[in-house]
């Protein structure tokens, strides 16, 4: 961000969804989490973390893998007890964007493998889709390039908890990009393994409070 750039012009809107599956024709969103960061990946405010109610018919469309995953994480029981609608979840994320982002300069959507989330947003939360910039920041793209160009950085990336819950997944994605910023967006050939380990620890420490 330059001194002439308004602070709200540098935001990234991080969104992660949990769904009943990946088929747009039969699966639905059941959890919505969102966080806003500035250009330096500092998390602004508390964000959004909502479980969305859906019908038993929709839950029945989950395959065995997703059924086990959501049951193990506790999400399935929370879906059944939730009273939050998808429209209410959409409103909450829009309010977060309105609070932290410039109204005339839509912020990019950010996350890991974010195209899938964007497709479900476009289908079920069209007002939110319209409020986001058409560009996206996909951390998985940086990961794939790091694997090819900066393998030491790639193999020392922060460990993931694999919680399969939306808010934790977002924080992990932000932390991962912070790590790549420290190790990949630098002069070639990048850090040696000890330096990558130091960057891994620094990124882990910087975001640890958001996992507690």
Would you call 154 a catalytic residue per the annotation? no
Provide the angle, in degrees to the nearest 10, between the axes of the packed helices 166-183 and 139-149.
40
The reply to whether omega before 189 is within 30° of 0 (cis) is: yes
What are the tokens at 194? 């000890």
Residue 54: strand, helix, or coil: coil
Q: Which is the catalytic residue, given 134, 154, 179, 180?
A: 134
String of DSSP letters for 67-94: HHHHHHHTHHHHHHH----HHHHHHHHH
Beta bridge partner(s), residue 37: 12, 43
- CA separation for the pair 200, 206 (Å, rounded): 10
Cβ-Cβ contacts under 8 Å for 77 (sequence gap 6 or more) = none
Q: Would you please indicate which residues are annotated as catalytic (active-site) residues?
A: 134
């Amino acid at each position: 961000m330059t001194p002439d750039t308004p602070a709200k012009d540098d935001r990234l809107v991080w969104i992660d969804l949990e769904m009943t599956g990946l088929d747009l024709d039969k699966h639905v969103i059941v959890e919505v989490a969102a966080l806003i960061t500035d250009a330096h990946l500092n998390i602004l405010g508390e964000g959004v973390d909502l479980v969305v109610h859906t019908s038993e018919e929709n839950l029945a469309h989950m395959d065995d893998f997703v059924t086990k995953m959501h049951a193990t994480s506790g999400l399935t029981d929370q879906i059944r007890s939730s009273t939050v609608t998808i429209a209410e979840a959409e409103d909450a994320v829009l309010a977060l964007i309105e609070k932290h982002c410039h109204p005339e300069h839509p912020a990019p959507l950010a996350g890991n493998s974010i195209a899938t989330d964007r497709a479900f947003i476009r289908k079920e939360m069209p007002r939110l889709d319209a409020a986001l910039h058409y560009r996206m920041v996909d951390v998985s793209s940086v990961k794939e390039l790091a694997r090819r160009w900066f393998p030491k950085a790639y193999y020392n990336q922060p460990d993931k908890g694999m919680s399969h819950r939306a808010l934790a997944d977002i924080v992990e994605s932000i932390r991962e990009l912070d790590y790549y910023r420290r190790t990949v967006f630098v002069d070639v050939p990048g850090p040696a393994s000890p330096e990558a380990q130091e960057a891994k620890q620094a990124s882990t420490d910087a975001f640890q409070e958001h996992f507690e």
